[in-house]
Amino acid sequence: MGRVGAILSDTEALGVATEWFDVIDLAVASELGDLVPDAADLATVHRTVNTALVSQLNTITKEESLLGQRIVRSMAAFRGKYPHETAEFDDSLASAREYRQLHQQVANDDLPRFEREFKDYLNQNAIRDIAGFSAQLNKHEKQIQDRIETINDSLAGIDYNEGRYIRLMANQTTNTEVREFRADLRTCTDNIIGGSASDQYSEEKFLQVKRIIDRFKGREGNTEQDRNWTRRVTDVRQWFLFSASERWRADEVEYENYSDSAGKSGGQKEKLAYTILAASLAYQFKLDWGVERSRAFRFVVIDEAFSRGSEESTRYALRLFTRLGLQLLIVTPLQKIHVIEPHVASVGYVDNPDGNYSRLQCLSITEYQRRRRDRTSFVYDARGVPTGSEVVNDGLGT
């Protein structure tokens, strides 16, 4: 009786137990049937019903445990997918309230209603932005190809060697990183124009864009590697392998291809270097061809670049620079002036007779040639080249 009294005094437990009275009554009635029970029968029924209730309780407890484990796993997966929104949540049943509150917030904000709008925004911005970026890179690629062709038009007008000329070649690179990057860009921008809405947007396409942007930003642990990768793949010049092709004018057959100057003679290296230099200047200056008054910057200072080169290479370089329409300021000793004379309009003659100060006298090339003919101011070698060993009375000296 004491036990019964203790149970009856626990109102909370009594309230829970009361909910099961009807179930217990049905179980007892099922066991008794039509019998009029005595004390022994009631004891047997008690054991039977108790065993059934304990078995049912064990089953419920087991199912509850399995359900709790599934809930905890779902919590962990949800937190992994939305780490910022669940930063203060735990993977436990005790945190169920926080998850319910978040669900209520999402339901009240009606966020699912904006999913279609978000996808449209993503399609119109993120994917189209990467498409615009890709188009800009392709534009730079086309500009390089066009400038190379413009430079080739000038190179074709000058003999590199007798009967042959130089043509710059810009072939697609074999670099794996660059080729894969360009393929990824094409994949991201497939069906942007002319496709249906369902074709234009997909979660897969978004992930493709995200992978590229993540590398641009620098992934955790790979920041420096990704920075170098970004520099390589977005520098459109790296998309090409440049070389120089020497060709016969008569039939356009290639005589030799130069990817570098290894194994070439000194003269060959000089001419190849001048060709690359002139092409680089023309490329950087973006020279306008066929324009009478161009605003392109064409001024180049050459400081004793020809002092040790052969006369043949020097003449080739000067013809090439002239062909490209470059304005030259050439610093050279007197020994080379006979080579550059046909390509200059004036001479700035500098001397330092006593070593204390330098003097500069500016002459037109015609005036310089006249003075050279009329005066015995210079000593000439067997070829008529002034050696500059004497000082003249009118201010010109060596």
pLDDT digit string, tens, across residues 157-201: 778 888 988 898 999 999 999 999 999 988 887 765 544 445 445
d(CA 137, CA 40) in angstroms, rounded, equals 95
How far is residue 132's CA from residue 397's CA, in Å, rounded to a whole number?
A: 62
How confident is the model at residue 91, as a pLDDT? 86
Rg of the chain taking only CA atoms, in angstroms: 45
Of residues 168 and 121, the one with the higher pLDDT is: 168
- Four-point Cα dihedral 156, 160, 165, 170, nearest 10: -80
The contacts of residue 217 (CB under 8 Å, 6+ apart) are: 226
Whether residue 131 contacts residue 124, with contact meaning beta carbons closer than 8 Å, is answered with no
Closest Cα partner for 331 from 377, 368, 300, 369?
300
pLDDT at residue 235, rounded to an integer: 93
pTM metric for this prediction: 0.55
d(CA 102, CA 109): 11
Residue 395 reports pLDDT greater than 50? no
| Distance between CA atoms of residues 128 and 188, nearest Å | 9
Higher-pLDDT residue of 286 and 166 is: 166
Residue-level pLDDT at 177:
93
**Residue 87 pLDDT greater than 50, yes or no:** yes
Contacts of 229 (CB under 8 A, 6+ apart): 177, 215
What is the DSSP secondary structure assignment for residue 293, as one 8-state letter?
Answer: S
232-272 tens-digit pLDDT: 999 999 999 988 898 999 999 999 888 876 666 766 777 78
The arithmetic mean of pLDDT across residues 138-144, rounded, is 92
Tokens describing residue 385: 């080249």
